[in-house]
Amino acid sequence: MSPALFDKSKDMTMSPLFLGASALIVLAYVIKAILSRPQKLDLPIVGKPGADYWQEALLEGTTKYPNTPFVLPSDPPLVVLPHCTHEEVRTLTEEKVSFQEEVHRMFLSAHTKVGTDFPVVVKTVKTDLTRHSASTVGALEDETNYALDTEFGTGESWTKVVLFEKVVRIVALVSGRVFVGRPLSRNEEWLQASIQYTIDCAKARDAANEWPVWTRYFVVPFLPEIKKVKSHTVKAAELLKPLINQCIQRFKEGKGIGGESGDEFDDDQGTFVSWIMKHTSPELRENPYSLAINQLTLSFASIHTTTMAVCHILFDLASHPEFIAPLREEIEQVIAEDGFEVDGSGKKCLKKQSMAKLKKLDSLLKESQRVNPPGIIANSRITTAPLHLSTGHTIPKGTRIGYDAQVLNTAGPNLSLLPHDPSTMPQLDPPSVFSPFRFASIRETPGNESKYQFVTTSKEAMNFGHGNHACPGRFFAGVEIKVILIELLRGWDFRNVGDTEMKGGGRPENFCVDTAINPNPVAEIEFKRRV
């Protein structure tokens, strides 16, 4: 910049007009921050501000106020609704209680861009991914075996691994096979963008939250953590561009973008990209950056949640190895009855139609989720209109709400008293006991065949949400988790570190923060290929 130009620029920045305009902009954001603050809630407050984990306060609140909303003084405050209001809330639409707004709050979408086109992702998952979940089984099986071989190697002797680090890469590879297809799904840059996106979004959120609300629009875009998130999106857009062009070319050739002739699962191209393009507005359909945000939002919503579920289950089984043999027997029995498919490596795999017969495996998933749920709050939402409850309370617009999930998982309904098949389990264990086959026994009772499946939600089973607020991706997640576990159980032995006699016990403690329950991210397990 020339000295003369610099002097003019300096004069302009010091001019009354410029200073006045800057002051008005700052004032506008201050006013917006003040107006957007949650209204004072005339409800009982349970717990002390600044708590790292709200489990004890939640238990105290539900015990003291079973039929009244109460407040956990988190940041922002969380109103815990009584379960007696669930029927009136579960059918409310996004326009009244919004999950999208909760995502925007949790991950500062205005800056990270997480979920900015959330309805498109949700619609694609509901109408396309769920409908074709069963048809992805063959690809998932093939990719799981590739991922296990890649991550665990030959595995001829017991090898110690940090479980989370291995499982997140396995899940990213397996999910990517369906989301973007080979070879992109195995590209290391794509894997890193998919895996690190969620981690770095959380870091960006935490960094931004260090600043007062009214300063964020000026400061946050320049934070290194925000720039890191944007770099993942730019890289993903660059890597996706050839695939997007391929989908556009198919459309121009009359094969449609997810149309009647183009919406089946296509293992050669990774159909989720074409499915999501079908639901994207025409002006954004050829925009790699926009599609990259949606694709990474999908990774954000699926890879880490599936990883946590698989880690929880493997920690559970390593701590209770007596349940591994019955699971393997069930798998091999179903293959013997139904026959098998052969994957790309020549390995015999379960047929997709056989998956529903694995009742013990399904029960394991549900029990592990019951004991180690994603969090202690279910159906977390933001009210986008005043919420009038039958209890006589009105929850103001802009309030964070949710239900106590831990009371359902540990106390209601009394799982030891439900009707079940005494020939498979003479007596059901109490809820305090990890009992992986309890739901398989319960499902043997007429009328319960579908009610207690892993993906089934109800007012008693809300770990996936319920009603209009149920997780739309749970059907694909259920298939993917089962495939990964089936191939692990068939091909690998695993145990707690040093547990040479396979006695179990010693499950790593979960990592709990705020209302979330995560598997221990640094805990180790030993693996060895079965012979």
Annotated binding residues, as ranges? Answer: 471
Tokens 């059901």 locate to 428
Measured from the Cβ of residue 278, the count of other Cβ atoms closer than 10 Å reads 21
DSSP 513: E
* Residue 122 phi, psi (nearest 5): -60, -45
In the three-class reduction of DSSP (H, G, I as helix; E, B as strand; rest coil), residue 451 is classed as coil
What is the layout of strands, in order, in the sheet containing 377-383?
A: 70-72, 78-81, 400-404, 377-383, 97-98
Total H helices, total E strands in the chain: 19, 14
Q: What letter would DSSP give residue 269? A: T
Non-local CB neighbours of 338 within 8 Å, separated by 6+ positions: 350, 351, 353, 354, 357
Q: What is the rounded distance in angstroms from the CA atom of residue 455 to the CA atom of residue 28?
A: 46
Q: CA 50 → CA 41, 72, 75, 163, 513, distances in Å?
A: 18, 10, 8, 31, 11
C-alpha–C-alpha distance, residues 36 and 360, integer Å: 49
Lookup: tokens for 229 = 């998130």
- Could you give the CA distance from residue 490 to residue 487 in angstroms, rounded to a whole number? 5
Beta-sheet strands, E only, within 158-292: 159-162
Q: Which positions ≥6 away from 396 have C-beta within 8 Å?
A: 38, 39, 41, 383, 386
Annotated binding site for heme: 471
Region class of 155: left (phi > 0), else alpha (psi between -120 and 50), else beta:
left
The distance from CA 406 to its chain's CA centroid, rounded to whole angstroms, is 18
E strand or H helix that includes residue 404 = strand 400-404
The helix (run of H) or strand (run of E) holding residue 379 is strand 377-383
